[in-house]
Structure 1
């Protein structure tokens, strides 16, 4: 048979051997190339980009053979503009080289809103109006006036701010209120186990000012500060504790669950 004669020829086996060898070499080169370019089987912990500016972010990414991409921004007044406030994957997660790390940064410019006219309205109404514009209550200042808890003046950085003035969102507006021609005392709110934002809101709602805010050593990042809970306050809430309206309440916050009683492990809704 003619096809059997082909198999008996030496040239056929020689060609087949060459083809097999060439296939093996190509396979070997492709495998080695993939291992080189993808670091096959190797992963490395993601560095912590939080708090860094754009220059340091790029330096750290280059040093670790990573790519970075800004996917979102928000504005937090007390953080450095342009600094990283969050990242994905989180620090310590193992990834391969050339992985893209997605960043959320603190915006360089905050949107501006028109300052509303709060003079003559109640504190609670004024506070609601401020918050609807993206502004926040700063200090509560009491002044002798029969219109108790009505807003007499609105101030920004110690000066009167007129309605219609353009101001950046998240700024603090100080409110001068009437004291009803006397120093009234109100109940001290119980802030234990409230997260930061809720605690600040409760202090303002109760006609007090925010005093010292102390984070312990368990709080390292912006996200930590938002999730930290009040474990101590001064003055404290002991039964029917009362204090003068407009006085300060200091708070201490932590992420350490051991600082809270075991029988009150439920976190208050924030």
Structure 2
């Protein structure tokens, strides 16, 4: 089960409750990631660093970078150990980790929801779990996996639904008697085609002109173009001239009969 949860990047949401705690599963996933050679960042909010590292061997602890928000989350003591911007600054700092596969553990998302707006937290989680390189920005890691522990009994349907939408994988812990079970929901991103279709391939008419057709179009006299007679008349007209002229240019299909001009009226 651990290998399937660590198969891809993105946000892995671990939903626990009072009866079925999820920190043990979180630490098991971190141990698996460390043994695979990944760098690990832990944002610790609910327990001390000593308690969180307990049970890990030296091979795991050497790869684990602990960001302590448990002792002084808002840096009230001004010791410089905490990030001045608080939890949000720490999360943003995690976006600039060193290149390579990285696993980020948030212990816990419930603590962060109590100190940050839900919208801000979701935007930051999106930037963490789906990094993109923009011009002029710092190079981000190749693959980021975010493990977020959520105590779902502490929140309403709104925050839980928002975090579920961001999650690539959801693990809900439950059980009966002494048997703990995990319900896993995986969401695969939709793949979009990258090829482009030419809209002019199957048309019944030609959109392009041949050389002869282009010459015929250029030599065509349009109806609204001035004839030489009309141009000369306009050039000869003075500013005080009051006479008017009507210029009629018959069309090639006009049927002009000078003997009986009303022949087409059928009178």
Give the TM-score of the pair, scaled to structure 1: 0.19
Q: Report the TM-score when normalising by structure 2.
A: 0.19
More strand by share: 1
